[in-house]
């Protein structure tokens, strides 16, 4: 179980830094705590004790979102529920409601933040692939000598391995920025071992834009998680499809390219099959959102499989 001597709820970022300095070496930052609590259950991490838990979910500076030209800034306290319920977010990032609907259940979505999902750095994290496909970056803040300093990292550089990131001692992830891609067809595919509270075995995020005539691929964004130590952008698929006429054969050929990325030691052939089917169906579904019907001729896996 998880326990602490003090549970602290700062209202500002400076108050959070004050508490971090006061409890240096003996604190844990939480927001929704939806990753920390399961991790601390008996049988996983066992009994976990922190002198101080610093809950930043009430820090106003970490709330909300803001459009900045062709980019969107998301505060670190934006939850998965926000992507489903906020009209502005649904319009700005149409792929994220598709991600959120498969993320745990209603209660957890209300608490779980995208920032926390990224910092947890699970190889199968749901929130990381769409942000990678959207050229996501993170803003990290710290305070030294009474002055606040920030640095920005591309998301592909921030996550370095399972449960490993470039977040340094004394830093807080304050924001995530990503591209705004109006007019793109989007899709998110996910498979797990059960139908409720699904933990991904493999998940794929896909965004597609066609040329003015709707006949060729102008831009394709694909990112994959669950088959290696970190989520990855599928550059080989994107390059293969760029500029090609929209055709079922091209989509199927592109879907075969990332099968070799599977690095898992167990159920490798199954995961390769899942990758092929998911990339193909993600492309088909994203095209369908643009009014193009390329329904695969052969059946593919169900969205959530018991396999």
Confidence band for 268, pLDDT divided at 50, 70 and 90: confident
Helices (H), 139-219: 155-158
What's residue 38's pLDDT?
64
What's residue 124's pLDDT?
85
H or E stretch covering 85: helix 80-85
Is 260:271 a contact under the CB 8 Å cutoff?
no
What's residue 165's pLDDT?
97
pLDDT at 3 over 90: no
pLDDT at 154 over 60: yes
Confidence band for 188, pLDDT divided at 50, 70 and 90: very high
Per-residue pLDDT of 71-82, as tens digits, reads 999 999 999 999
Domains of the chain listed by start with CATH number:
2-55 (3.30.43), 60-179 (3.30.465.10), 185-288 (3.30.390.50)
Confidence band for 40, pLDDT divided at 50, 70 and 90: low
Is 268:262 a contact under the CB 8 Å cutoff?
yes
Question: Closest Cα to residue 106, out of 81, 82, 125?
Answer: 81
What's residue 304's pLDDT?
39
User: What are the structure tokens assigned to 74, written together?
Assistant: 């998301």
Averaged pLDDT for residues 113-127? 93
What's the pTM?
0.88
Confidence band for 105, pLDDT divided at 50, 70 and 90: confident
What's residue 33's pLDDT?
73
pLDDT at 306 over 60: no
pLDDT at 189 over 50: yes
**Parallel/antiparallel/unpaired status of strands 159-161 and 164-165:** antiparallel
Averaged pLDDT for residues 251-255? 97
User: What are the structure tokens assigned to 22, written together?
Assistant: 């006061």
What's residue 195's pLDDT?
41
What average pLDDT does the chain have?
A: 89
What's residue 102's pLDDT?
83
Beta-carbon contacts of 8 under 8 Å, excluding residues fewer than 6 positions away, are 19, 52, 53, 54, 55
What's residue 198's pLDDT?
45
Averaged pLDDT for residues 48-64? 93
Averaged pLDDT for residues 157-167? 96
């Amino acid at each position: 179980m998880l326990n602490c001597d003090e549970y602290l709820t700062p209202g500002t970022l400076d108050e959070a830094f004050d508490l971090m300095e006061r409890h240096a070496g003996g604190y844990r930052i939480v927001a929704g705590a939806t990753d920390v609590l399961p991790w601390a259950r008996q049988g996983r991490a066992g009994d976990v004790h922190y002198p101080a838990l610093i809950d930043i979910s009430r820090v106003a500076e970490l709330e909300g979102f803001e459009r900045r030209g062709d980019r969107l800034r998301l505060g670190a306290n934006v939850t998965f529920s926000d992507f489903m319920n906020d009209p502005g977010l649904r319009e700005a990032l149409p792929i994220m409601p598709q991600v959120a609907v498969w993320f745990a259940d209603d209660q957890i979505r209300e608490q779980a933040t995208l920032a926390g999902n990224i910092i947890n750095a699970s190889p199968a994290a749901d929130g990381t692939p769409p942000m990678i496909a959207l050229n996501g970056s993170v803003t990290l803040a710290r305070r030294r000598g009474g002055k606040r300093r920030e640095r920005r990292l591309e998301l592909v550089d921030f996550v370095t391995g399972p449960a490993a990131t470039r977040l340094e001692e004394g830093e807080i992830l304050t924001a995530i920025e990503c591209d705004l891609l109006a007019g793109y067809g989007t899709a998110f595919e996910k498979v797990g071992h059960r139908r409720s509270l699904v933990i991904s075995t493999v998940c794929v995020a896909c965004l597609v834009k066609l040329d003015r005539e709707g006949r060729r691929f102008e831009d394709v964004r694909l990112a994959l998680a669950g088959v290696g130590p970190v989520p990855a952008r599928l550059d080989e698929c994107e390059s293969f499809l760029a500029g090609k006429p929209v055709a079922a054969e091209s989509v199927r050929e592109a879907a075969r390219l990332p099968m070799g990325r599977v690095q898992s030691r167990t159920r490798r052939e199954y995961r390769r099959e899942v990758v092929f089917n998911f990339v193909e169906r993600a492309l088909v579904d994203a095209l369908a959102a643009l009014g193009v019907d390329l329904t695969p001729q052969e059946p593919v896996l169900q969205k959530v499989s018991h396999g």
